[in-house]
Structure 1
Amino acid sequence: MDQAHIRPSFTNAILEGSAILFVGAGLSFLSKNKNGTTLPNGELLKQLHTETGTKKVFPLEKISSFYVKKFGSARLYEYLLNALTVHSMSKELVDFYKLPWRRIYTTNYDNAIEFARHSSRGKLGIASTIASKFSDAETAFKNAYARENSKSRPNTIRIDNYYARFQLEHAAWIDGADQAFRLFKSGFNLLLKQIFKDDNRHYPFKAGRALAGLAAKHYDHWSTTEQQSFAGGCSTLLKKAQEWTTKNKSSHEDVSAMIREINLIMKRIGGK
């Protein structure tokens, strides 16, 4: 693709909600903390060295530990809170974050993304995925179900929703296509269990948004039967989301986002 087509392609991908944004520390210079200063980047490391009086340069982890030993964790927490909490941001950056990104990934410690989305009244789901914790999560869900089902009138709707989201996110994370499909079927069935209830709210559709990552990683590795099952499931969720919007005579960000993402999925897989 020549350069004349690159920019329009990027623009279209962003506007249709299929682009993923990776944010590094470089964007911090467009934000200021409550002291009116630009959020620190390399300056944070220098400041910690200055305050501790160390002449030798240490990595952030070591100088932070030394700072805590010398001044206490409360002082470090207060310093970081003041330095990294955004209180103002350039309009250009707010507008940039307001674009309909499909996902935003960052390792930054500041709250710039949350600040921008909040100021524009946009909602933001924050997720932290640690692969080694999946088995612990399975145990936690089993315990949650056991506690709820021990009650005289158990209600597992909320647990079902969280577990469905967990299974779909887990399926998108693992490498095995067969296991990923089993997790998809389990999570999908939990979503249907909630969506077909007359009193359902938008929560199941929020869980359904995990399907895009799952399809991107595993769809091409599934059998024809599995692909058809996945496409059929997406079609069902899309139909129910559209019915939900019509019934409530309004839209919700989670429902609208899922409709947009499933349309993109169906476009990519040819609506099979």
Structure 2
Amino acid sequence: MNQDLFDLTGRVALITGGAGLLGPQMASALLQKGARVILADLSLEKCRAEIEKMTVAPDRLEGICLDVASSRSWGDALGQIEASHGKIDILINGAASTNQSKTANFEAGFEDFPEEDWDRIMDINLKGVFLGCQVIGKHMLQNGGGSIINIASLYGVVSPNHRIYPGTGIFQPVAYSVSKHAVVALTKYLGTLWADKKIRVNALTPGGVWNGHEGLFYERYKQLNPSGDMADKADMNGGVVFLASDASRHVVGHNLIIDGGYSVW
């Protein structure tokens, strides 16, 4: 085994939600360990804008357009990457409908939550992960293995604390929480299904990640978290590299929670 368990030299990683809050940060972490990274998002322009900001090995970073809710789009992305690089070693399913990419009625309460918004959030947050695992997982089966990292959520582990949101302008709809719980379940299912095929399927759960938060929500969240603060985007770096690399070669179906202790209380 390579002495540097975290070395990713020669490996090809695909990150969905590549232009989102965590996508570029995760890309930077993998690039620093030698990987080649493809950022995938609905907007190729946004991917390119993030690539232009990148100071770590931009020559090993590129962007593609991908609609995670479309099996055809997944097939096209796989074909494009196979033609350019021959393989995908690492898949990070990071695309999601969140407070940064809301559906039309994302803020509706449970009693009035429209099924159209339920369906759209499920399409992105759950079906998108299912399709990614199916399409890229099949490719990995044919190529001798790989690592799949599904980005879950703190609210796939515990319920949102409904008391911290009133008056903050921030919402967590039912479909988000349910979809992220399901991502953890899918991770366990596939982790056990493919463990003996040299495909490791694990999840990474970020707690609340600071994104300019201030005011009432921020103060309430800090009081509820043993660490006393929200996470920085860079706090996910170690977990992403660990799950992508040989350092986690015997880790299967695990949900790595990086939340500063929020879910422990």
Q: TM-score, normalised by structure 1?
A: 0.26
Structure richer in helix, relative to its length: 1
Q: Which has the higher strand share?
A: 2
The TM-score with structure 2 as length reference comes to 0.27
